[in-house]
Structure 1
Amino acid sequence: MKKTIAMAMTGLSIVLGSCGGNNPQNTTSQDDDFKYEVDAFADLQILRYKVPEFESLTLEQKELVYYLAQAAAEGRDILFDQNGKYNLAIRRTLEAIYANYSGDKTDKNYQEFETYLKRVWFSNGIHHHYGEEKFLPGFSKEFFEAEVKKLPADKVPVMENQSIDDFFAMIEPVMFDPNVMAKKVNQADGVDLIKTSANNYYGEGVTQDEVEAFYAKMKNPNDSTPIMYGMNSRLVKENGKLVEKVWKVGGLYSPAIERIVGWLEKAKGVAENDAQKTVIEKLISFYTTGDLRTFDKYAIAWVQDSLSRVDFVNGFTESYGDPLGMKASWESTVNFKNTEATKRTEIISTNAQWFEDHSPVDPRFRKEEVKGVTAKVITVAQLGGDCYPSTPIGINLPNSNWIRKDYGSKSVTIENIMEAYDKAAEHSGFSDEFVWSPVELDLLHKYGFITDVLHTDLHEILGHGSGQLMPGVDPDALKAYGSTIEEARADLFGLYYIADPKLVELGIIPSADAFKAEYYRFMMNGLMTQLTRIEPGKTIEEAHMRNRQLIARWVYEKGKSDNVVEFKERDGKTFVVVNDYAKLRNLFGQLLAEIQRVKSEGDFNGAKSLVENYAVQVDQKLLTEVLARYKALNLKPYKGFVNPVFEAVTDKDGKIIDVKISYKEGYVEQMLRYSKDFSSLRTYN
C-alpha cells in the first residue's frame, strides 16, 4: 500500500495546530463526553476515533460494514506471524500469564510485564512498530520462568515433543537477548538484508542473493502486465531447494483465511451493487487460489468501483515489512465515503491531468494520459492487521505500476482519524517549544490543519499516481531503497503543488500564503522534530522517516548559499527557520525532478546515493537536544487506536435488523477479546 503514515507524516503538524501549556497525559480531550484518550504507556498513546454519520447508512450498508469489520479482525494472527516466527508463542504465553496471575500487581516485575504485553499487542510482535528494533522486557527472566511454570500445561504453547525447559531455551533468547532477532526489517547498507531481518517472510538459511536470483528468473522484462512476484508467499528451503509457501485457502495461514472468506461471503450478499459484488467475488477467488493474476483482476475491479459508498481494503498489501519490498503484510480497513469532504478531493482528481502536465519533471517521465484517478475523503469504521492499532491517514492503491497506468488508482484521506489526532493533541505545548516565532505559530493556527489535509490529498491522489516507468524498467529495480524513494516522490509532488496558485483558483485552499504552514512544518519535522523517535546513537531506518529527512536535508544543503532554510539558536535551543518560501518551492521542484528520474529509469545507484547521503545519518548533538526538550513535555511520540465495537441486532429468526456502534471498549479489553475471538492459527506456522 502506498500510504501516508499517521504521526509519521502528519501527526506533528496536527500537534502544531494548537498550542497551550497543559499536558495531554493529564488532560483528556473530550467532545460531547466522547473520550479520545484510552491509555498511555512506554512511548505510546492509545486513542479512540469517532465514526460520524454511521447512523445515516442504510441497514444493508450497516450490515456490510459489520461483515467487513469481522473480516478485518480475522487476519490479526497472520500479521503477528508474518512479523516474527515466535510472536504468536510469545503473545499467547504473555496473555496466559496475564489471565492467571495471582501475585502482587504493584510489584515492579508485574508492572513491567503489563507494559511489555501492551507493547507486543500494539506492535503485533516484539519489534517496535515504527523503529523496527526489538524492545526488551523490563521484567526478569526469573519472573517470566516462575509465572510460566505456574500456568496450566495446556496454556504453555510448547512445540510438539518439547519440554518446558526446551521452551525456555527457545523463547527466552528471542525475548531477552538484544542480539537475537534484533531488527524486524534491516535496511543497513552492505549486509545481507534477509539474514539480518527477523520477519517471517523467508525461511531459515535463505539469503538475499538467493531471493533476488529466485525472483529474477521469474520475471520477463518484456511483460507489460507483470504480477507482483512473491507478494503472497513465504520463501523457504526444502531439501536445499527454494520453494514458495503460498498464503491461501489450503495453504499457509489457511485457518485464518477461511474465516476471512466466510465473512466476505456474507458481505457479498449485501453488496451495494454488482460492481462491488464483483470486487468481493474476485477477492474471494484470490484467497482461494493464491493466483496473482487473479489478484490483479481483483485490483482492477476495485479501482473501477467508484459508486459504492462503503469500501474496504482486505488482504496482503503492504510491502514495508520486507527489506526487499516484495512480500506483503496482511491488513484491512473498512470505511465509507464522507460525501461533503469528498468534494475537495474530487476537484483535485478531476484536474489530475493539469497537475501531471505542469509537473517540473522531465516530460519523458510524465504520463501522457492520466487514467482513472479517483479520490475521496473517507470515514474509517474499522482497522485491522497492519493498519491497527497504528494506522495510516491516507491510502493510495493499487501498488501495481501497470494497473495504475492503464486503469488508474484510488486515493483516500481518512479525515476522522486526522480529527482524532487533532483533538488528542490539543494543549500539548509542542508548538511553544519547537516553533521559532509568533509568525510561524500564526500560520500554523490559521492554516495548519487544512494544509496538512491537503498535503495528504496531493500525496495520495496525485503523488503516487503520477509519473511512469520507462519501458523495460523492473518495478523492483530500486530494491531496499524503493519504498523511501516512492514516499519522497509522492511527498515532493504534494509539497510542490500545495504552493501553486492553481489551488487558490480551484477554491480548495483559503489563501495564497497558506502553503507556508505546511512548508514550515515539513522542514521543522524533517530536519529536527521527527528525531523524537530516534534513540541516541541510532540511525534512521523507517522508510517514511528516511523520506522526510532526505527531502529536508537535500533542500537545506542545496539552499545554503541563498540561506533558504537555516538553524537558529535562542536561549540555548535550536530552531528551524525558513527565510525564502519561493526558493524553497523551487528546490522541492528540482528534487522532485531528480527523484522521478531515479524512479522512472530504475537507477539503483542514484537511489542509493540519495538515501545514504541524506536520509540515514543523524546529527547526534541535535538529537540529544531534541530528545531532552521533548521529554520535558511528557508527550508520547507514537499513537494508535482502539476500534469501535459493532453489534448486530437480530430478530427472533436471526435476521439482522440493526447494527449498533459502541465506543466504550478499552485497550486491554479489546486486545484480549480479539485474541479470544479472532485467533485461529497454530502457534507455529
Structure 2
Amino acid sequence: MLQDSFSYTVEQFADLQILRYRVPGFENLPLRRKQLIYYLSQAALEGRDILFDQNGKYNLQIRRLLEAVYIHFKGDRTNEQFFALEVYLKRVWFANGIHHHYACDKFVPAFTSDYLEEVVNSLPEEVLPLEEGETCQAMCDKLFPVIFDPSVMPKRVNQSDGEDLVLTSAANYYEGITQQEAEAFYAAQKKADDQEPVMYGMNSRLVKENGHVYEQVWKVGGMYSSAIEKIISWLQKAEDVAENDAQREVIRLLIEFYRTGDLKLFDAYSIAWLKDTDSLVDFVNGFIESYGDPLGMKASWESIVNFKDMEATHRTETISSNAQWFEDHSPVDARFKKTEVKGVSAKVITAAILAGDLYPSTAIGINLPNSNWIRSVHGSKSVTIGNLTDAYNKAARGNGFREEFVYSETERQLLEKYADITDDLHTDLHECLGHGSGKLLPGVDPDALKAHGSTIEEARADLFGLYYLPDAKMIELGLVPDAEAYKAEYYSYMMNGLMTQLVRIEPGCTVEEAHMRNRQLIACWALEHGQAEHVVEMVNRDGKTYVRINDYAKLRMLFGKLLAEIQRIKSEGDYEAARQLVETYAVQVDPVLHAEVLQRYRSLHLAPYKGFVNPVYTPQTDKEGNITDVHISYSEGYAEQMLRYSRDYSNL
C-alpha cells in the first residue's frame, strides 16, 4: 500500500512539470487481469518509435544521437552547454520529437552547434546512430540544420490560413505531396453513396515519387512493420488471458487489422470494441487521433491500458443512460439531432499505462471511435480518466494560481467548493454526450471542414457540456449538489479561454492547437456577443487584468446559441463558415494581454504543461516461468524511464 508521503511531482524543467499517478486497486486484481494488463502494457510500449517517426522524419535519429551524448559523454557535464543539451533532450522525450507537443513550434536549443559537434566527435563511432554507410560528418551535416536552423521544418503542424498546410508542416505523413494533391487523392477514393465509408488515409503515409502518388501503409510487411510485429506478439499473449469472448474478438480483429492494414477491418474492430462494455480491463492501441495531421486525416499512434473505476462509473452511467433526453433538449435545430441515440456507454477508468500520443502528456477523457457512420449506427464509448485528474488536482494544491488570476474571493470560493466536481462533470459531458451528439446531413463528407474540423468538433463537445451544466436535470440526476455549482466551471472556462491558456504560447505566436483554438473561440465569441449586456467583461484592477462574469444565466444562453451554429456548420459541412469562425475568434492573440499574463505566471514559478511517468510492472514467475503475480512500482525517474524505453522498445 502506498504511503501518505507519495509524491506526485517528479521534476520540473523548461515549461514542463513531470508527475506520477497512482493506480489504485491494481494490487487487488485477480492474477489473470494483472497478466492481461501487463501484456497490454507491453504492447503499448512497443509502439513508442512509431509516434516519434510520425512527428518528424529525423526525430528518431536526433533522439538517439542526443541519448548517445547523454549516456557516453565523458567530458565536463556541469557546464551550461551540457545542462542546456540535457534540458533539450528531456523536451524531445516529452514531445516525442523536436517540436513542442502542444504549440507545434520547433524547440530552440540553448546550446550551440559547435558544442554539439565537439561533443559528438568525442564519442566512439560505434555508439552513434549512423545509418548504413553514413559517416559522422554526414550525419551532422544532415541533422544540424534540422536542430539549429529556425527556417528548417519550423512547425510540426501548420494551420495558417492560406498556406499549403502539407508543404509547411514537418509531420511525417506526406512526402513530395502538395495539399491540393493530397486532397484530390482521397477525394477520388470517396463514393457519395457509401453509407459506411472507411476513414481514408488513416493508417498510411502519402508519397509522390516520379510523378506517381501512392500510400505507404502502416502494417506487417509495410511501413513500421518491425514495431507492429512486436505489438502483435504481446496482443497475442493478451488474447490468451482475455476476460471473455467479446474482448478476445476485439484483440483478434485488431491483430488482423495490423497484419493487413485493411480499414474495413479497423471498422469491424472499432464496432466490436465499443460493444464490449462488460470487461473490467480495457485498452486502446493503434492509429487513432488526427490532430497531428494538418489535413485531419492521418492518425497518430497511441495506447492506453486501463480498468474500470466501479464506484466513480455510476456518475457516467447516469449521464449515458439519459443520453436521449439530452439530445432531445439540445438547443440545436431539430434537423441536426439524432432521433435515436444508440450505443452510448461511458465509464470512469483508472489508467494503468500511457503510450504513444498519450504519453507523457495525455488526455483526461476519450470518446471513440472517430468514424462518423459507426457513431451514428452503433454509438460510442466514452471514458474519463479518474486517477489522472486526481493527480493533476493533488499536484496543483496551493500553487498560488487562483490567487493571482481569479477576480475575487467570491469566485475563488466557488472554485474551491465546486471546481473538482464540475471539471470532471464537464469532461464527462464533453466525451460522453458532446462528441456523441448530433448528426451529419445525408451526403455530407465527414472531412468537409478540412483543417478546421478538429477545432469545430472540440468546440461542439465543449459547448454541449457547458450548456447542460446549469440545467435542472443535473440536480435531478444527482450529478451536482446545487444550482450554484456550474458557475465554477463557467468561470474557470472563460478565464482559461480568454487569458490563462496564453501561458502556453510563445510571444509573437498565434494559437495553433485545436483544443486551445476551441476554448478561445468559445470564450471570445461569448465575450463579444454578450458585450451589449455586459455578460462577461475584462476588467483592470491595480494594473492587472481579470475576467468578471456578471450574468451566468445569460452566458448559458450564449453558449446555447453558439452550440446551435457550430452544430449547423458540422451537420451541413459548411467549410467557409467554419473558417470564418475559427479565423475570427480562435487564432489571434492580444500581444499586450499576452505579455501581462506571461509575466504574472512567471512570478509563480509554475510550469504550464504537465505530463506523467508511468508505473513499472514487473512479472513474478515460478521455476517453470509461469507468471504468479505482477508487482507495480512508482519509483522510476523521468530520464531513467525514457532511457529504459529507448533501450527496450526501440523497434524502428
TM-score range (shorter-chain normalised) is over 0.9
For structure 1, which segment, 534-543 or 666-675, has the greater mean C-alpha deviation from structure 2 after superposition?
A: 534-543
Task: Find out whether 1:473 has 2:440 as its counterpart.
Answer: no
- The correspondence for 1:665, drawn from 605, 621, 636, is 636
Partner of 1:371: 342
Conserved 8 A contact 2:125-2:136: no
Map of 1:608-623 to 2, 5 A cutoff?
A: 608-623=579-594
Q: Distance in 1 between matches of 2:583 and 2:209?
A: 36
Q: Give the number of aligned pairs.
A: 651
Match of 1:207 in 2: 178
Normalising by structure 1, we get a TM-score of 0.94
Secondary structure (helix, strand or coil) at the match of 1:412 reads strand
Whole-Å Cα distance in 1 between the matches of residues 189 and 16 of structure 2?
42
Tell me the alpha carbon deviations over residues 94-123 of structure 1, each in whole angstroms, 9 at most, x when there is no partner: 111111111122111100010001000000
Instruction: Tell me what 2:541 maps to.
Output: 570
TM-score, normalized by length of structure 2? 0.99
Structure 1 Cα separation of the partners of residues 326 and 134 of structure 2: 61
Q: Which amino acid aligns with 1:364?
A: R
* 1:603 aligned residue: 574
Residue equivalent to 1:40: 12
- Cross-structure match for 1:13: none
1:68-107 superposed matches below 5 A: 68-107=40-79
- Distance (Å, rounded) in 2 between the aligned partners of 1:457 and 1:316: 23
For 2:506 and 2:265, how far apart are their aligned partners in 1? 43
Residue in 1 aligned with 2:154? Answer: 182
- Deviation of 1:157 after TM superposition, in Å, equals 2.2
Give the one of 301, 314, 330 matched to 2:301.
330
Deviation of 1:289 (Å): 0.4
d(CA) in 2 for partners of 1:534, 1:655 = 51
**2-structure distance, mates of 1:334, 1:626:** 37
Displacement of 1:389: 0.2
CA distance in 1, matches of 2:134, 2:50: 24
The residue number in structure 1 matching 2:252 is: 281
Q: Which amino acid aligns with 1:460?
A: E
Secondary structure class of the residue paired with 2:607: coil
What is the CA–CA distance in structure 1 between the aligned matches of 2:132 and 2:385, rounded to whole Å?
A: 45
Contact 2:155 2:170 in 1 (8 A): yes
Partner of 1:145: 117
Q: Secondary structure at the match of 2:603?
A: helix
Q: What code does the residue aligned with 2:561 have? A: Q
Aligned equivalents of 1:578 and 1:622: distance in 2?
18
Matched, 1:528 2:503: no
- Equivalent in the alignment of 2:366: 395
2:137 is matched with 165
CA contact (8 A) 2:459 2:519 kept: yes
- 1:537 equivalent in alignment to 2:471: no
Separation (CA, whole Å) in 2 of partners of 1:330 and 1:104: 38
Q: Distance in 2 between matches of 1:167 and 1:353?
A: 59
Q: 2:364 aligns to what SS in structure 1?
A: strand
Q: Secondary structure at the match of 1:81?
A: helix
**What secondary structure does 1:271 align onto?**
coil
Structure 2 SS opposite 1:384: strand
Deviation (angstroms), 1:162:
2.6
**Aligned counterpart in structure 2 of residue 125 of structure 1, from 73, 77, 97:** 97
CA distance in 2, matches of 1:160, 1:73: 26
Distance 2:593 2:24 in 1: 42
| Matching residue of 1:255 | 226
3-state SS of 1:218 partner: coil
Tell me the residue number matched to 2:163. Answer: 191
Cα distance in 1 for residues equivalent to 2:74 and 2:111: 16
3-state SS of 2:352 partner? strand
Of 603, 618, 632, the match for 2:603: 632
| 1:568 partner letter | V
Output one character per residue of 1:513-558: Cα deviation in whole Å (capped at 9) or x when no partner: 1000000000010001111111111110000000000000001100
Cα offset for 1:415?
0.8
Return the letter of the residue paired with 2:564: A
1:223 maps to 194
Deviations 1:459-508 (A, max 9, x none): 00000000000000000000000000000000000000011110000011
The whole-number CA distance in structure 2 between the counterparts of 1:246 and 1:142 is 39
Q: Does 1:362 align with 2:333?
A: yes
* 2:564 corresponds to 1:593: yes
User: Alpha-carbon deviation of 1:39?
Assistant: 1.1
Letter in 1 for 2:629: D
- Distance in 1 (alpha carbons) for counterparts of 2:361 and 2:46: 17
Amino acid at match of 1:566: E
SS of alignment partner, residue 318 of structure 1: coil
Return the alpha-carbon distance in structure 1 between the equivalents of residues 651 and 285 of structure 2.
17
Distance in structure 1 (CA, Å) of the matches to 2:122 and 2:261: 42
Q: Deviations over 1:197-255 (max 9, x none)?
A: 0010011x210000000000000011010000000000011221101000001110000
Find the partner of 1:350 among 303, 321, 327. Answer: 321
Structure 1 CA distance for aligned equivalents of residues 473 and 255 of structure 2: 43
In the TM superposition, residue 645 of structure 1 has moved relative to its aligned partner by: 0.2
Amino acid at match of 2:78: T
Q: Percent identity?
A: 67
Q: Deviations over 1:370-393 (max 9, x none)?
A: 000000000000000000000000
Q: Match of 2:391, SS?
A: helix
Amino acid corresponding to residue 91 of structure 1 in structure 2: R
**TM superposition shift of 1:35:** 1.0
Instruction: Name 2:352's counterpart in structure 1.
Output: 381
The match for 1:409 is 380
- DSSP 3-state at the match of 1:554: helix
- The 5-angstrom pairing of residues 3-18 of structure 1 reads none
Rounded Cα–Cα distance in structure 2 between residues aligned with 1:152 and 1:396: 48
SS in 1 for 2:188: helix
Post-superposition offset of 1:158: 2.6
In structure 2, distance between residues paired with 1:577 and 1:653: 67
- What secondary structure, in the 3-state scheme, does the structure 1 residue paired with 2:353 have? strand
Moved over 6 A (4+): none
C-alpha deviations, 1:430-472, integer Å up to 9, x for none? 0000001111011101100000000000000000000000000
C-alpha displacement at 1:31, in angstroms?
6.3
Report how far residue 571 of structure 1 moved. 0.8
1:169 Cα shift? 1.3
Aligned counterpart for 2:525 among listed residues 554, 557, 570: 554
Look up the equivalent residue of 1:151 and give its one-letter code: L
The Cα of 1:164 is off from its aligned counterpart by 2.1
Letter in 1 for 2:73: Y
CA distance in 1, matches of 2:416, 2:384: 21
Query: Which residue identity is paired with 1:110?
Result: F
Tell me the SS of whatever aligns to 1:431.
helix
- Cα distance in 1 for residues equivalent to 2:364 and 2:99: 22
* Residue 159 (structure 1) shift: 3.0
Counterparts in 2 of 1:418-437, with a 5 A limit? 418-437=389-408
Q: Which moved more, 1:327-336 or 1:98-107?
A: 98-107
Aligned counterpart for 2:427 among listed residues 448, 456, 466: 456
Confirm or deny that 1:234 pairs with 2:175: no
The question of 1:508 aligning with 2:479 is answered yes
Listed one character per residue, the Cα deviations across residues 260-314 of structure 1 (whole Å, up to 9, x for unaligned) are 0000000000000000000000000000000000000000000000000000000
Higher relative contact order (CA 8 A, sep 6+): 1
Give the AA of the match of 2:131: M
Partner letter of residue 643 of structure 2?
Answer: L
Q: Which residue of 2 aligns with 1:495?
A: 466
CA–CA separation in structure 1 for the residues paired with 2:426 and 2:336: 22
Distance 2:192 2:483 in 1: 46
1:51 pairs with 2:23: yes
